[in-house]
Amino acid sequence: MYFSALFRQLAHIATLKPMSEQPSKQSQDPTAHLNTPGKVAVITTGGTIACTSDANGHLIPTVSGAELVSAISSRFDGSAISFEVHELNRLDSSSLTFADIDEINTAVHKVLADPEVVGVVITHGTDSMEESAIAIDTFLNDPRPVVFTGAQKPFDHPETDGPANLFEACLIASDPSARGIGALIVFGHAVLPARGATKWHTSDELAFGSNAPEEPERPTPLPLTALAKVQVEIIPAYPGASGSMVQAALDAGAQGLVVEAMGSGNVGSKFGDALGAALDAGIPVIMSTRVPRGEVSGVYGGAGGGATLAAKGAVGSRYFRAGQARILLAIAIATGRHPATLI
């Protein structure tokens, strides 16, 4: 119900004519309902939304948080919403580490300590947005929305999608109907729950989809806990995989493993034997899948079958794909929870 209503709101916004063509501000202004004073805190972390092209056409993060917000703040003139900008860094999100996610999480909790803040928007690169979003969601014990957004085209592109995405993210962050439903991704006129979100297209402006139900259940939020010292590795499955990467990951210090399995959560026999040995040694394992859609289910027998590995203690990721499953396993390890309680 909540996501359908928010999606309809953005669908309506997407049909609005440019300001110069609007017959009346009152009938067209999507901010008209925002008459309660409040601040939207915008936390900027980099990504394509903050990039411009250099002389060689390469994207470089050059745009400040203040510049990003100034591109859309005038659209809130006449509303009671104001903005405060917190620029954390200007990173390519493929370079983010658990320490960077900890920094974002700390910043979110800090700005939410201000009762005048009605919502938070985080500008972020799309490559790992789904990971950061679920990390914030799992620790978010506050009804106010935290909304992630970004861009597929850089700031100086003639058809940049960044300002529109940021405007819509701020609109949702300041909307009372977005309270109490966790972290969100607002991108390409879509509103998605963080849980189950996945980047499904490398360049399309509708960059993200979801494997989750419309209103996915959220576990009880956890106390904020650092992830920087946790090591969880993702290991892909493929026909003929020997399982040698399992031992290599453990030798490198992995405290948990996520397997990007085949089908509904299966691997080959040798790979299954290696995972079984890891499980017997007390290493937590989550089975995800390389298949774009559908849930993981342990129904096959044999050394690498999902049912066999589940019987040894492997946890199926349900609708979470490997990137988000890794975050949830890291949080489980850091907080001493069983990973199944977060999935």
**Is 45 annotated in the active site?**
no
CATH, residue 122: 3.40.50.1170
* Domain encompassing residue 335: 232-341
pLDDT tens for 254-307 read 999 999 999 999 999 999 999 999 999 999 999 999 999 999 987 777 777 888
pTM: 0.90
Binding site listing for substrate? 93, 126-127
Q: Which of 44, 45, 48, 308 does the annotation list as catalytic?
A: 48
Which whole number is the average pLDDT over 320-342? 97
Q: Are 144 and 41 members of one domain?
A: yes
Binding site listing? 93, 126-127
How many C-beta atoms surround the C-beta of residue 327 within 10 A?
Answer: 27
Q: Which of 210, 244, 278 is the last residue of a domain?
A: 210
What are the b/e assignments for 209-241, b being 16+ CB within 10 Å? bbbbeeebebeeebeebebeebebbbbebeeeb
- pLDDT category, 16, cuts 50, 70, 90? very low
Q: Are 187 and 297 members of one domain?
A: no
CA quadruple 261, 263, 328, 46: dihedral sign: positive
Q: Are 65 and 193 members of one domain?
A: yes
Q: Domain count of the chain?
A: 2
Q: Are 23 and 67 members of one domain?
A: yes
Q: What is the pLDDT of residue 155?
A: 95
Which whole number is the average pLDDT over 312-331? 96
pLDDT tens for 213-260 read 888 899 999 999 999 999 999 999 999 999 999 999 999 999 999 999
Q: What is the pLDDT of residue 216?
A: 86
- pLDDT category, 34, cuts 50, 70, 90? low
